[in-house]
Amino acid sequence: MNFELSDEQALLRDSVARFVSQHYSLEQRRKVLLLEPGYSPEHWRAMAELGWLAVPFAVEDGGLGGSPLDIMVIMEQFGAGLVLEPFLASILLGGAALRHGAHAAMKREWLPQVIDGSKQLAFAHGEPQARFDLQHVATHARCEGDDFVLEGTKSFVLNAASAAAFVVSARTRGGVAERDGVTLFLMERARPGVTLRSYPTVDGGRAADLTLQSVRVPRTSVIGAVHEGTSIVTAVVNDAILALAAEAVGAMHALYRDTVQYTQQRSQFGHPLADFQVLQHRMVDMFSEYQLARSLLYRATMEAAQAALDSNGGTQLDSALKAQLEGALKAQRAVHALKYLVGRAGMFIAESAVQLHGGMGMTEDLRVGHYLKRMLVIDLLFGNAEHHLQQFAGQPSQSGLAG
């Protein structure tokens, strides 16, 4: 058991932090926000050259074989800098689906270009009626000869307009809310029948709603096994939640530091605001929530990394398989716990930061409001705090530390 970053991780952290401090001042970010893709293509190329886009992919696929901990290190700095580039959409969602399920030829065709940044992906899974239920998929795909034909709608697809292809989930059998019967496809954006309604998002990103009308894709575009897409979706979303939580923790740290500094500089009633106990205690509560979120981020990320290591062991022993299953359940519980805590802590800290900045907190001229808008989206992506608390409470307790 060890809480120190490795030397490589510390270098990675410093390198991302340097990038953020050089390119993500409020002024610089404002310019990026005005660019049409919603991010800077120049930054994206730089991130590819620095090797960050390769981190989660396997070495044999041209990646660096990084763990969830390496992603945590990157995302925390991105969170502090309110970075806009589509690392989550292309690498951690679309790219991860290929990593988990793509057949060899698909990996060969797509991953090198995803890793060098020349092509981007998007993850078209969520649907308006599903709300936070990951296995609720109404979009369907019927088999016609060697092809599948997709019909349906997908909502809030991050980075859709910049993506060369989408990872799309569609039902190939069963009822709309069944876990079984969902299949993932890699669908190029240019396919006939794909319509995008693109829009900016509240936090400065870009997303789109997709309409699929008789979109024909070949059987070779199936990711993973037919009917068994939900397990890939779950794995991708769990890792994405860890990454979002790291981003949120980076933002929480910046929010509480900015608030402490601001209240020490701003005077009212003849004193710096920070002299008032009622504000001091609010900031201590912001600090406590931030520390709890960071601790749980470490816990959930380390449990996920451990579960991933265990499942790669290739063991046949019953006892080891049982331990693996327990580890996986423990990791899943920790993800639910984390998303709940991050939503709660993130919103409390961001709202408190705006409150303590007073009128200035309501303007676009300070960072705090931008963090609040990002935190709103982080909370809602892949299920908000309340949803994940219900998931956490609803599962039978494992032999966990607190369970």
Partner 1 sequence: MDIELSPADLQFQQEVRAFLTEHAYQPGMDEGQWRRRWFAAAAAKGGWDVPRWPRDFGGPGWTAAQHHLWDLETAAHTLPSDSPFGVTMLAPILMAYATPEQQQRFLPAIRARTVQWCQGYSEPGAGSDLAALKTRAVLSAAGTHYVVNGTKLWTSAAHLADWMFCLTRTSEGARRQQGITFLLIPMRQPGIEIKPIITLGGRHHVNMVHLTDVKVPIENRIGKEGEGWTYAKGLLQHERVGIANIARSAVALAELKRAARQLPCGSGCLLDDPSYRLRLAAVEVDLMALEFTELRSLAAISAGLPVGPESSILKLKGTEIQQRIQKLALEAAGLRGAEWGAMGVTTDAAREAFESYLIGRASTIFGGASEVQRDVIWKNVVRLPQ
Spatial distance between the Cα atoms of 165 and 390, rounded to a whole number of angstroms: 34
Q: Which of residues 320-339 bind partner 1 (CB under 8 A)?
A: 334, 337
**With CB under 8 A as the contact rule, which of the stretches 42-50, 137-145, 213-221, 278-286 interacts with partner 1?**
278-286
Smallest distance, Å, CB 98 to partner 1? Answer: 27
Helix (H) / strand (E) containing 206: strand 206-218
Using alpha carbons, select from 97, 176, 174, 166 the residue that is nearest to residue 134. 176
Spatial distance between the Cα atoms of 257 and 34, rounded to a whole number of angstroms: 27
Query: CB neighbours of 374 closer than 8 A, spacing ≥ 6?
Result: 79, 82, 203, 204, 251
For residue 62, give both structure tokens.
Answer: 């041209």
CB 300 within 8 A of CB 243: no
Which lies closer to partner 1 via its Cβ, residue 234 or residue 291?
291
Q: Decide if residue 296 touches partner 1 (CB under 8 A).
A: yes
Site string for partner 1, 57-96 (x = CB under 8 A): ------------x---------------------------
Query: CB neighbours of 306 closer than 8 A, spacing ≥ 6?
Result: 327, 331
Q: Decide if residue 268 touches partner 1 (CB under 8 A).
A: no
Number of neighbouring beta carbons within 10 Å of residue 161:
17
Q: Decide if residue 288 touches partner 1 (CB under 8 A).
A: yes
Distance of CA 54 to the CA centre of its chain: 16
Smallest distance, Å, CB 2 to partner 1? Answer: 6
Which lies closer to partner 1 via its Cβ, residue 133 or residue 285?
285
For residue 61, give both structure tokens.
Answer: 């696929």
Q: Decide if residue 392 touches partner 1 (CB under 8 A).
A: yes
Site string for partner 1, 235-264 (x = CB under 8 A): ---------------------xx--x---x
Question: Contact positions toward partner 1, by CB under 8 A?
Answer: 1-6, 9, 69, 256-257, 260, 264, 274, 277, 280-281, 283-285, 287-288, 291-296, 298-299, 301-303, 305-306, 309, 334, 337, 340-341, 389-390, 392-394, 397, 400-403
